[in-house]
Amino acid sequence: MFGFKDRRREKIASRPFPDAWLVLLKKNVPLYSRLPQADQEELKRHILVFMAEKRFEGCGGLRMTDQIRITIAAHACILLLHRKTDYYPGLKTILVYPRAYVAANTHHLVGGTVLETDDVRLGESWHHGSVVLSWDDVRRSAADVRDGQNVVFHEFAHQLDSSGGRGDNTPVLQDRSTFIAWARALGEDFENFRHAIEEDRAVGATHASPVLDEYGATDPAEFFAVATECFFEVPKDLQHMYPRLYDQLKRFYQQDPATFG
């Protein structure tokens, strides 16, 4: 059913994309120029809706600007191309610090011991409410489109993962049997990657994967987020090293970045 929210979004998406925003998009999102023209137009429509619905807040003295908003919104919306999407349901606010920030973390150890530490973070995704990002790291990771690292892709992949597919028409999420097969294949790749990391650590070696960051061995959610970064930034390398993983991500995102210009 085409409801009020859909009509409102269609109206927003039909507005002209501001020239000043297009300048920022081309300058700060190198991947934009590699997208097919139809995807560029779809991306601009998604950005218009995203900017209208999400709130950006500067933290730690950061003054919010359109450069920050557009850079983040564009990368978040690249993950939504070719979908009938609900624009990250549950996400209300993007909190942006000027640089890596310190967050308190509580670790529950064996025997009931609780250890409190201060962790330095580049970003984090909360299941409900917010994504937190370091602007320095957003800008740095966005500038090099072929380093396999992009903090916005990473944290917004977590948003997709934690949403459980709500409001998304991705075939692998809509069909239960297909989703089970997709999740199983992704899980097998994760286990293989995790075992390779463990074997390297057992002999005192540093894992030398030319594609996936070893942080992806932390758990399946981090594996999905790290793989998403590589899928969009170094797609041909990922396809060569992990062809099944690439194929599964291609089905999930309904995109084939290895064919981009």
Sign of CA dihedral 133, 20, 255, 247: negative
CATH superfamily, domain 4-163, is Glucose-regulated metallo-peptidase M90, N-terminal domain (1.10.472.150)
Q: Tell me, what's the pLDDT at 107?
A: 46
Phi first, then psi: give them for residue 136, nearest 5 degrees. Answer: -55, -40
**Cβ(150)–Cβ(141) below 8 Å:** yes
**pLDDT digit string (tens) for 53-93?**
999 999 999 999 999 999 999 999 999 999 888 999 889 99
Give residue 60's Cα distance to chain centre.
23
Q: Six-digit token pair at 236?
A: 């041909």
Give the whole-angstrom CA distance, residue 193 versus residue 213.
10
Domain limits of the chain? Answer: 4-163, 171-259
Options 1.10.287.990, 3.10.20.30, 3.40.50.970, 3.40.390.10; CATH for 171-259 is 3.40.390.10
pLDDT tens for residues 168-199?
A: 656 676 677 777 878 888 889 999 899 888 88
Report, as ranges of residue numbers, the positions in the chain whose pLDDT lies below 70.
1-2, 102, 104-121, 163-171, 173-174, 203-210
Proportion of the chain in helix, strand, coil states, percent, rounded to 5: 55, 15, 30
Mean pLDDT of the chain: 87
Decide whether 4-163 matches 171-259 in CATH topology. Answer: no
